[in-house]
Amino acid sequence: MNQTTPYLFFTGKGGVGKTSLACANAVKLADEGKRVLLVSTDPASNLQDVLESSVDEKISPVKGVPNLFSININPEVSAEEYRKRVTEPLKDILPEAEIRKMNEELSGACTTEIASFDEFSRFISGENEGGKFDVVIFDTAPTGHTLRLLELPAAWATFSEENPDGASCLGPTSALKSSQERYNKVVATLRDASKTTFYLVARAEQSSLREAWRTSEELNQLGLQNQELLVNGVFQSMDSSDALSQKMEAMAQKQLNEIPEKLQNIPLQTYPLLPYNLLGIEKLRSLLNTELQEKLVADQLTVTSELRYELNGLDQMVEDLTGRQDQGLIMTMGKGGVGKTIAASVLAVMIARRGFDVHLTTTDPAAHVQDFINQLDELPSNMTIDRIDPKLETKRYTEKVLERKGKKLNEEGRKLLLEDLKSPCTEEVAVFHAFSKAIQQARRKFVVIDTAPTGHTLLLLDTAGSYHREVLRNTDMDPSKIKTPYMALQDAEKSKVILVSLPETTPMREAAALQEDLKRAGIHPYAWIVNQSLSMQDGLKDPLLKSRALAEGEVIQNIDENLAKRLYGIPFIPEEKLLPAILRFYSENQLMKAN
C-alpha cells in the first residue's frame, strides 16, 4: 500500500474479504506505533470473530494489540434511534396507524445508510469520544447515494416545509444529529487525497472486478479519487497433479490479466488465498507478513481431516420442487456476488428438462441470466426467458412522481425529490408491478425469478395510509391486484423463496439478515443454497483446496442446523461456461448413483 492517510475506507461486496484486510492493516499500523481506531458499520459484522476480542458500540481496546481500538456501529440500532427521533414528536399529533406506516417507510436500506453515516461522520470530524487517533479505518464505506443526498441543501430543511412524499424511505434529514457544517467538513475530508484513501476490495472474478469498477466510477463522480484496488484470495496451485487446482489458478490469472480498463490506472495489490481463515491477531498479521505466513501455511497443511460435507445438489432440489406440483413461483434471493443468478438459471433449465413449462425472468440490472443461457447449445422448447428492466420501470415511475409532486416544489425541493427517487427502495417499488405480472403466470407454469423484492418493500406496499395510496396512484395496476402478489408470496405452497449464500461467514450472516427481513413480512424461505462449495468435489489433492474445503464445514453446519429448513449445494467449478458445466456435474452424479 502507498503512504497511509489518516482515514482509510475498505469497500466491497460481502465475502470479498474487506473486513480481513481492514483488520490486518489496522494491526500492522498499530504494531508500527500508530494509534489506530477500527470502525465497522456492517450490519452483519464479524469484527469480534476476526479480532478475537470484544467489540461493541463504545470504543474499546483490542486484546493483544497495544494502540489498536475498535467500535462497531450497528446500523440497525442507529436506524431505530433515527426512526424514534422522527416519530416521537408526532405521536400526539398523528393516529397510531400513520405512525406505524411512517416507521415502515423508514425501515429500508436508505434510512439505515443515512443513520449510519450520521453516526460515523463524528469520527471524521474529530468529535468522537475516544480522543485523537493517528489513523481511523472504516470497514465499509457510505454509498454514493447517501453522499449525494446529504450534499443537497434541501436535505437539511425541515420535514414539513421541504420533504417530498414521493417514494421516500429516508424521512426528514432534520432528524440527523449532524449539522450541515459538520457534513460539509466530512465531505471535504473524504475528497482530500492527502487525508482519505478508498480501498476497493475484490476477488479475481469477473463479476467482483466489475463491481469494483462500478464503485470506482461512482466515487470518481463524487470527487473521491484517491483509490487503490485490492484483489483478495488469489489462488495459486500447490499440486500440479490436481486438475481442479490447475484450472482455478489459470482462471484467476486470466481475470487479473483482464482487469477492466478503467481500473488499470489504479494502484493494484494482490493477496493470496490462504489455507486458513483469518481469525485472530497472529493470522491477521500473517496476511501482510510473508515470513509468518509461510510458517502458518506449513503448519496448516500438515493438518489432515475428513473434509467432505454431504450436501444435496440442485438435482435433488428440482425433484423436491416438482414432486407434488406442476406450477409455482420460485425466487432466488441473496446479496450481490453469491450466485443467485446461476442458481436460478440451473433450476429453470433442470425443471424444463423434466418436461414442465418454465418461464425464467430477472430483475437484475446487469441481466446476467442471458449471459448464462447463451452458454447452452440450445434452450428447452418448453422454456421462455425475459427481463424486467429496472431502469425502464424506475424511469416511468420517477417521471410520474416528478409530474405530480414537482409542481409544488422549488428548485432545491425538486433536486431533493429527484435524488430521493434514486434510492434502492424506489427501484424496488417501480419494478413491483412488472414483478406482479410474472407472479400471475405462476398459476399456469413454473416461474423462476432471479432476485425479488425484499421484505421491506413488500411491507411498504402493504402498509395502510397515504404512502400506500400514493403508490397506487402511480401504478397502472388495479388496486386489488397490488395485494394479490403479496398474498401469493406468503403462501408457502405457491411460492418458494430460496436464499443463496457462499460457504463463508459474512455471506451467511447477510443471508440470515435477509431471512429475518422476509419473516417480518410473513414470508418464510423454502430453502438455502450454498454456492461454490469445494467440499462437494471428490478427489481433491491440492493441500490448499483440501484445507479450504475443511474450513467450509463449520459454516455449512451452522446453516444446516440453525438457519435453513432445507439445504442444497452447488459445487465450485472453475469453468468459464458455468451453466453447462454445472448441469454436466449433476447429470454425471446421477449416472454414478445409478451405477
Rounded to 10 deg, the angle between the 96-105 and 455-462 helix axes is 150
368 in a domain, yes or no? yes
Last residue of a domain, one of 301, 327, 358: 301
In a domain, 200, yes or no: yes
Of 361, 334, 357, 411, which Cα lies nearest the Cα of 152? Answer: 411
Distances (CA, A) of 93 to 88, 99, 105: 10, 10, 18
What pLDDT, on the 0 to 100 scale, is given for residue 149?
Answer: 63
CA distance linking residue 496 with residue 452, whole number of Å: 11
**Same domain? 175 vs 237:** yes
Q: Is 583 contained in some domain?
A: yes
Which residues are within 8 A (CB) of 323 and not within 5 positions of it... i.e. 6 or more apart?
none
Answer for the pair 365, 390: CB distance below 8 angstroms, yes or no.
Answer: yes
Domain-located, residue 164: yes
385 & 242 share domain? no
Question: What CATH number is associated with residue 553?
Answer: 3.40.50.300
Does residue 20 lie in a domain region?
yes
CA angle 345, 578, 349 (to 5 degrees): 30
Query: How far is it, in rounded angstroms, from Cα 157 to Cα 247?
Result: 57
Q: Are 373 and 509 members of one domain?
A: yes
Supply 258's cell numbers: 483482464
Give me the sheet containing 36-40, strands edge to edge. 60-61, 68-72, 36-40, 135-139, 7-11, 196-203, 227-234, 268-272
**361 & 248 share domain:** no
Give the residue numbers annotated as catalytic, written as ranges.
15, 17-20, 42, 506
For each of the chain's 595 residues, which pLDDT tens digit applies?
556 899 999 988 767 888 999 999 999 999 999 999 999 877 666 788 889 898 888 899 999 999 999 998 877 788 888 888 878 888 888 888 778 777 777 776 677 777 877 777 878 877 766 678 999 999 876 666 667 666 665 555 443 344 444 435 555 556 677 677 887 888 889 899 999 999 999 999 887 888 889 889 888 988 889 999 999 999 999 888 999 999 999 999 999 998 988 898 899 999 999 888 888 999 999 999 989 998 888 887 776 555 556 899 999 999 999 998 999 999 998 877 788 999 999 999 999 999 999 999 987 766 678 889 999 999 999 999 988 887 888 888 888 888 877 777 788 777 777 777 777 667 777 777 677 777 888 889 999 998 765 665 565 555 433 334 445 555 666 665 554 566 777 888 889 999 999 998 888 988 998 898 888 878 899 999 999 999 898 888 888 888 888 888 889 999 999 999 999 999 999 988 999 999 999 887 765 554 4
Question: Of 301, 336, 368, which residue sits at a domain end?
Answer: 301
Task: List beta partners, residue 360.
Answer: 385, 448
DSSP state of 272: E
- CA 387 to CA 325: how far, in whole Å? 25
What pLDDT is stored for residue 561 in this prediction? 95
- Of 60, 62, 44, nearest in space to 52 by CA: 62
Shared domain for 147 and 35, answered yes or no, is yes
Cell numbers describing residue 374 = 447463451
According to DSSP, the residues that pair with 328 across neighbouring strands are 446
pLDDT value for 126: 74
The range of the structural domain enclosing residue 345 comes to 312-390+439-468+481-594
Sequence letter at residue 12 = G
User: Cell triple for residue 123?
Assistant: 469520527
CB 315 within 8 A of CB 569: no
50 with 20: CB under 8 angstroms? yes
Quote the pLDDT of residue 132.
84
587 within some domain: yes
Give the N- to C-terminal CA distance of the chain in Å, as an integer. Answer: 55
Q: Are residue 264 and residue 386 in the same domain, yes or no?
A: no
**Residues 316 and 293 grouped into a single domain:** no
Residue 408 lies in a domain: no
DSSP alpha helix (H) spans, 444-542: 455-462, 466-473, 479-490, 505-520
DSSP secondary structure of 512-532: HHHHHHHHHTT----EEEEEE
SS3 541: coil
H or E stretch covering 231: strand 227-234
Provide φ and ψ at 498, rounded to 5°.
Answer: -120, 120
Q: Cβ atoms within 10 A of the Cβ of 40, count?
A: 28
Distance from C-alpha of 427 to C-alpha of 406, rounded to nearest angstrom:
19
pLDDT at site 487:
73
* Beta strands 312-313; 268-272: pairing state: unpaired
Residues 6+ apart with CB under 8 A from 562: none
Q: Which three cell numbers stand for residue 345?
A: 438459471
Q: Are 228 and 266 in contact (CB under 8 A)?
A: yes
In a domain, 69, yes or no: yes
What does pTM read for this prediction?
0.78
Considering the domain architecture, whether residues 262 and 317 belong to the same structural domain is answered as no
Q: Give pairs for 370-377: CB < 8 Å, separation 24+.
A: 372/341, 372/342, 372/345, 372/578, 372/579, 373/345, 373/579, 375/577, 375/578, 375/579, 375/580, 376/349, 376/579, 376/580, 377/580
Which contiguous run of DSSP H or E holds residue 320? helix 314-322
Same-domain status, 43 and 180? yes
What CA–CA distance (Å, rounded) separates 514 from 243? 37
Same domain (yes/no): 219, 331: no
| Domain count across the chain | 2
CA distance 216 to 57: 30
**Half-sphere exposure for 339 (CA within 13 Å, toward CB):** 25
Report in angstroms the alpha-carbon separations of 244 from 241, 270, 342.
9, 22, 20
**CA dist., res. 16 & res. 505, Å (int):** 11
CA pair distance 556, 564, nearest whole angstrom = 10
Q: At CA 510, angle to CA 12 and CA 503, rounded to 5? A: 85
Among residues 472, 313, 461, 489, the alpha carbon closest in space to that of 397 is found at 472
Beta bridge mates, 312: 568
77 and 11 in a common domain: yes
Looking at the fold, whether 380 and 270 belong to one and the same domain comes out as no
Angle between helices 543-558 and 290-301 (to 10 degrees): 80
